[in-house]
Chains A and B, each alone.
Chain A
Amino acid sequence: MSNITTQFHDTLREVFPDVADTEISCLKAGEGSWDSLGHLRLMMAIEASFGISIPPDAFDKLQSVDQIEAYIRSQ
């Protein structure tokens, strides 16, 4: 796994500690504790972890682990 993937998965585990390691890569918005507040927490944690700023307009488009990782890589 690349460094970005590792760092991103660490962030996911921190925000959603109840999710099993094996399920983390297929996580989607709306499932379990990834509700609307969970989404904000995740966005905040990613901004802090990667030192980036995600505009609110992009929040709605980042609905799965894959989409978010692609977004982080594009920054």
Chain B
Amino acid sequence: MATASQKTAFILGSANWDMIAAQVRKKCTDIVPFDLDISARPFGQYLTEIYTPDSDLFAAQPDYLILAERFEDILLPLQDPRLIDDAAKARFDQYLAAIRHLSAHSGSVLIVHEMTLTRPIGSDRAAHQVWAMLSEMNQALRDLVEKLPDCHFLGLGQLVAKIGQQGLEPGKYWLLGRLPFGMGFSTPYAGLLCGLLLSLNGKTARVLVLDLDNTLWGGVVGDDGVTGIKLGPDFPGNQFVQFQSFLRSMLDKGVILTICSKNFEDAALEAIRSHPDMVLRPEDFVAWRINWEPKSQNILALSQSLGLGLDSFLFIDDNPVEREDVRTACAGVTVPEMPLDVTEWPGFLADLPQLFHHSQTDADTNKTRQYAVRAKVEELREAAPDRETFLKGLGMSVDMQQMDPQSRARILQLIHKTNQFNTTTIRYAEHDLDAILADGGAVFSVRIRDRFGSDEINLVMVVERTDTTATIAAFVMSCRVMGRGVEAAALALVSEWAMQNGCTMLAGLVRESDRNDPARDVFTRHGFAPTGDGSFHYNLEQGSIERPSWFHYASASDKKTKAGEIRQ
């Protein structure tokens, strides 16, 4: 049986995926402490397995199933792709049906990869028709994936374009051992799959920490002056413009940017503000530490002020000595060995599994603004005489609602990405939540607004229900709102809900993980009594939990949901 933190995955396909499974497993362990037991099912047998309810595949209850058919795999062995026939189309429909079947019966998260054609077929009219058909089939796969819960599409188009046909084609290795791709494609493919799995497990980097001199521009601004640094339309300045544009695109994907530089702050900020060829401007950075302290110390400070763990950080610096300092003193921070040639940086970083970016929710795109808000909140905290005055000054309101179609994506994101304030670290899949609702339980989202314009769901509670006991099986809060007493408000509201629904006992569960320190005492801090087995009890016969005074509680005008029935 797998340990709590270990994830299991199977690759299903008609080719021999053993080698790629081994590569993915190795990459995941090398990159971050991510214990992934991934293996390939015997090739060509998955269709039999998935329609046999007691097969090994179902018995193993894997966390992930990766469906990895290539275009060739729906043809007969060695059939010329240009002679695609109705039988091949029928096999593709069978593949779609298999995905639907697994979605309905496996309980695993599905990953469906884009189909590729690995054999060269020329470029005449017949070949064109094959490409058109491949593109149609991929569209059908994409459409299906979008409709199914807990199902993700792994696009390969960009990788195919980059590596090209020669690396993609397995050649003799297909004939000898049914290997799906050539060596040139297998390794980056494994990297991509690893990136998606890291991303689904909340283990990709969220914060880039950037050096300035010889990283964002060429030269040293302190010596060369704002006009003397290398940054502009011609070489060598244009390689830094290119790199900044790449960083800009990361920003658009929801990664946040920070600066850590040994410099005079005024001179450095002046360059960022006023140099005509800067792509990034001060407002693109959430925070910066521009001083002469060791970078490792500055990164620890950034981690604190942003409220994000070190393993969310990725440090980019041209200087190997700085990289070594951070690597040694800040365990958890990803510190890639940057290529010497700056022109290679965008491509190099784009291939890092830690920077893989999967689907985006609305919350992601606003991330930079939200972290900037957090920095402002920190300022207010320093100015306030005591905690309650500070919290009142934030002008916060909370609004607890049952999960609805609009909040689903955000709720799942919090459940899957939150590591610190997470009482049990159970990564519920969408259908698990539906099952809890069907059993009379509840999934609550709590939206927090404040006077700095933040307005987002930052807390989730999964509540299971048995007779007169409501059990908080998962209590997850974004670290962005930690220290504001939001958890106290949420517990008060859920205790009111439980009483209104006839419960006499409110229970909470805590399952320790190596990172959920901040969440472990949440129940004892609010009057729950420990029972010794990781369970905490609050007797509702003594009344509901008191609401903290520093929140405004959203009115109960929304009659559509149960949570809306809670009265002021």
Contacts and interface: CB of A to CB of B under 8 A. Distances in A.
Interface of A: 17, 36-37, 40-41, 44-45, 47-48, 56, 59
A43 B30 CA distance: 24
Q: Name, among A36, A44, A45, A48, the residue most crowded by chain B CB atoms within 10 Å (CB to CB).
A: A44
Contacts of A48: 183-184
B26 A40 contact: no
7 contacts: A37-B16, A40-B19, A40-B176, A44-B173, A45-B183, A56-B175, A56-B176
B183 A47 contact: yes
B176 A44 contact: no
A31 B336 CA distance: 36
Interface of B: 16, 18-19, 26, 172-173, 175-177, 179, 183-184
Contacts of B18: 37
B177 A40 contact: yes
State the 3 A-B residue pairs at the shortest beta-carbon distance, nearest first: A40-B177, A44-B183, A48-B183
A45 to B, nearest CB: 7
A59 B176 contact: yes
A61 to B, nearest CB: 14
A58 to B, nearest CB: 11
Contacts of A36: 177
Contacts of B179: 40, 44
B177 A37 contact: yes
Contacts of A45: 183
Contacts of B176: 40, 56, 59
Nearest to A37: B18
Given A36-B177, A37-B16, 15 more contacts: A17-B26, A37-B18, A37-B19, A37-B177, A40-B173, A40-B177, A41-B19, A44-B173, A44-B179, A45-B183, A47-B183, A48-B184, A56-B172, A56-B175, A59-B176
A65 B176 CA distance: 21
Contacts of A56: 172, 175-176
A32 to B, nearest CB: 14
A29 to B, nearest CB: 14
A44 B170 CA distance: 10
A74 B102 CA distance: 51
B26 to A, nearest CB: 7
Contacts of B184: 48
Contacts of A37: 16, 18-19, 177
A70 to B, nearest CB: 21
